[in-house]
Amino acid sequence: MERRSEERAALTGSGVIGAQQQEAGLSRAWVAFGVFALAVLPWYGLETPMASVLGWRAEAAPALFQGRSWLLPLGIPLVMALTGRPGFLMAAGVCGLAWMLGEGVVIGPRGAGLTQPAMGWGAAAYALCCAALASIGLARRGWCRGDVFVVGSLLTVLGLILLFVGYPVVRILKSAFESNDGGFAPALFAQKFFSAGIWGLDCLDGGKACGVAWNTLAEAMLVGVLATGLGLAFALVAVRTQLPFRPLVRLLSLLPVITPPFVIGLALILLFGRVGVVTNFLGEYFGIPRTRWIYGMAGITIAQVLAFTPIAFLVLSGVLAAVSPSLEEAAQTLRAGRWHVFRTVTWPLIRPGLANAFLISFIESLADFANPLMLGGNFNVLATDIFFAVVGAAHDQGRAAVLALVLLVFTLTAFLAQRAWTGSRSYATVTGKGDSGLSAPLPKALRLACLSVVLPWLVLTIVVYAIILGGGFVVTFGRDYTPTLHYLLTAFSIDHGVGGWFLSGSGWRSFITTMELAAIATPVTAALGLLTAYLLNRQSFAGKSTFEFLAMMSFAIPGTVIGISYILAFNVPPVELTGTGVIIIISFVFRNMPVGIRAGMASLAQIDRSLDEASMTLRARSFRTLRLVILPILRPAIITAMVYSFVRAVTTVSAVIFLVSGEYNLSTVYIVGRADVGEYGVALVYSAVLIVVMAAVLVGISTLVGRQQIGRRGMLGAAPASEMV
């Protein structure tokens, strides 16, 4: 009897009696974990976690032995949860979390009365336990078809996003409305927000500079248009022609992904600066006066277009490949000329792709920090202004918060526009049915136009990369071309001393830290991203679109804004992370998670739900299905997500420049510092090493893992995933 009802329940996907018994055990196990969090793990301080358990230091004692009476009520929810009744479980989770957050916010580190330091591992474990208890309760009430795993992951992911994306953004908002001594000052906010420095339009009627907001917008528009146009030209050449250098285009399109962002700017200075190689040549042989045109909008535009064209190219080549040849063939059979076909069939089909590419380059340009830092000259943009508002002689954190707010509004608007645009329209023309036609050849004029843009640009890209890779191996680029290993040895020498071999180069420490932190962040990013993708694609729950928006939002938050918001949010208890490696890892994870989500969603969309259903019918629950059925098929997406998040973590600079500390310095910040004091040699050598290492990682992983193929679906899934890298 019981068995039959179980089968019926499994088929309908609702609660199961056997599972309920299992969950009673589960809730007890979580209660035990909660006791462990309160009675064994150190409640305060993340810095000396395990060591302090063993050494039993007073401050790091577990919550129950702290002698701080307000921590004792934390035990009550655990007792409540022992009853195992759904209502009690939910109440236990909610009350436990609420009390913990409440006492954490109310009782600060300093003051006349009660004090306490920042929360530590015990607190983190206790929060996890509360979330788990609440999820068990909710699941037993029938949420998400009674699936504890789904409810639990949902709550955990949501909690993490709220803590590490939502809360810092709210903190920026709060800071924007504060005066410098901490009071609430809306008038000051209005004054700062509407200041001429941000919105002034003086440049239209005279020689004065315009407000920084207009500068940023104009720059981003220009870069968006140029990068999209170039990307389209490249995509047409790569997808629709048979020219011999097509593989080169693909290869070069990968390079910017593994390039630390500011080195392109550095190379441009060495080429086109007032004493750059090209400038010298033109000056000596053609008498063209040396100017400083590269410093300003022109230089930033070239550098950003160099950096973002490949992204536009990847988007557009995907779109072009998805235009079914049969439509074009149909037009041709109706006697349309090449140009007519392109204009009336191909173009309308790729238009949404163009908008998408434009918006992505637009957002990237808005958020770009490194190139304006190197090449800005007198041309200010928001991302760098935020930085200098914090670190400059003005020390105006309030102004930084206001500027960050303006930038955030811009990027989020573009992000929403992009979602609205790509979400509501479907232009897919490739179907499962036979589709073996040939694409129409490009009109001659268009082909020529594409080539005339693509070829010079290719040459520029190659020259820029030649400088980046080789510039650090000559004495002074542009003046003295004697080959030297001096800079390489300065940064990466290995010496033999009394204690054996040791790394004596000045760059080793930051290099190793970077690799370590990125390596820790990578699997976490991928796991969290794919779990979120699974929830979004396979489960339905209330507020799903809000959840998706929150999860993807961090992609649109510029790095500088993340950096400053993390300092504001996580410097003081209850959550104190600044100066640790943890905060850097967290910033990596939440900045790069959307990439994992996208890769996961794209692959999941290609896996038929019937597979899940089959597994469910065989009475596997969601976690088992995920582990045994979906994960193996998702392997290409997992690899994409991991590689991409690793590479992005290593090359990012804008967010972490605020977060590094003596103990945890990172490669990119180190290189910016070297370039800042004019040691271009070391900066170039270090960048070259990073690029080579990253390329090795890319190649290594793809040869090690190979292309995963599971039937025909797997082949379909593998292609777009590997293209994303």
For position 578 contacting another protein by CB under 8 A, the verdict is: yes
Q: Is 101 exposed, middle or buried (0-12, 13-18, 19+ CB in 10 A)?
A: middle
Is position 4 an interface residue for another protein (rule: CB under 8 A)? no
Q: Hunting for tokens 């020219």 — which residue is that?
A: 243
Using CB atoms within 10 A of its CB, is residue 428 exposed (0-12), middle (13-18) or buried (19+)?
exposed
Piece of 152-160, 382-390, 589-597, 614-622 that binds another protein (CB under 8 A)? 382-390
b (16+ CB within 10 A) / e for 600-624: bbbbbebbeeeebeebbeeebbbee
Q: Which of 297, 300, 305, 302 is nearest to 209 (CA)?
A: 297
Binding mask 192-231 for another protein (x = CB under 8 A): ----------x---xxxx----------------------
Judged by CB, which is closer to another protein: 233, or 684?
684
The single residue among 11, 29, 32, 51 that binds another protein, judged by CB under 8 A, is 51
Would you say 724 and 314 are in contact if contact means Cβ atoms under 8 Å apart? yes
The yes or no reply on residue 295 touching another protein (CB under 8 A) is: yes
Query: Minimum distance between the CB of residue 613 and another protein, rounded to whole angstroms?
Result: 42
Q: Which is nearer to another protein, 79 or 391 (CB)?
A: 391
CB of 552 to another protein, least distance (A): 29
Site for another protein contains 428 (CB under 8 A): no
Q: How far is it, in rounded angstroms, from Cα 508 to Cα 491?
A: 7
Q: Which of 393, 498, 542, 704 binds another protein (CB under 8 A)?
A: 393
Taking CB under 8 A as the criterion, the residue among 147, 364, 368, 576 binding another protein is: 576
> At 10, is the secondary structure helix, strand, or coil?
helix
Which position has the token pair 């002689």? 393
Task: Tell me which of 8, 174, 395, 609 binds another protein, using CB under 8 A.
Answer: 395
Considering only residues 108 to 127 of the shown chain, the ones binding another protein according to CB under 8 A are 108-110, 118
Under rule CB under 8 A, residue 579 binds another protein:
yes
User: 632 and 607 in contact (C-beta within 8 Å)?
Assistant: no
Say whether residue 289 binds another protein (CB under 8 A).
no
User: Between residues 223 and 584, which has the closer beta carbon with respect to another protein?
Assistant: 584
* CA separation for the pair 676, 689 (Å, rounded): 19
Pick one of 241, 506, 606, 722: the residue that binds another protein (CB under 8 A): 506
57 is a contact residue toward another protein (CB under 8 A): no
391 belongs to the binding site for another protein (CB under 8 A): yes
- Tell me the per-residue interface mask from 671 to 690 with another protein, x by CB under 8 A, - otherwise: --x--xxx------------
DSSP 707: -
In the complex, minimum distance from the CB of residue 273 to another protein, in angstroms, rounded to a whole number:
5
Query: CB atoms < 10 A from the CB of 455, how many?
Result: 13
Instruction: Return d(Cα 652, Cα 659) in angstroms, integer.
Output: 12
Which one, 429 or 506, has the nearer CB to another protein? 506
Per-residue tokens: 147: 């699936």
Q: Which residues pair with 503 in a beta bridge?
A: 494
Task: Report residue 401: phi and psi, to 5°.
Answer: -65, -40
125, 151, 134: which is closest to 34 by C-alpha?
A: 125
Largest CA distance in the chain: 97
Q: Does 377 bind another protein (CB under 8 A)?
A: yes
Dihedral over alpha carbons 652, 656, 657, 660 (to 10 degrees)? -130
Nearer to another protein, 5 or 661 (CB): 661
Binding site for another protein (CB under 8 A): 47-51, 54-55, 108-110, 118, 202, 206-209, 269, 273-275, 292, 295, 373, 376-378, 384, 388, 390-395, 397, 476, 506, 516, 567-568, 571-573, 576, 578-579, 581, 660-663, 673, 676-678
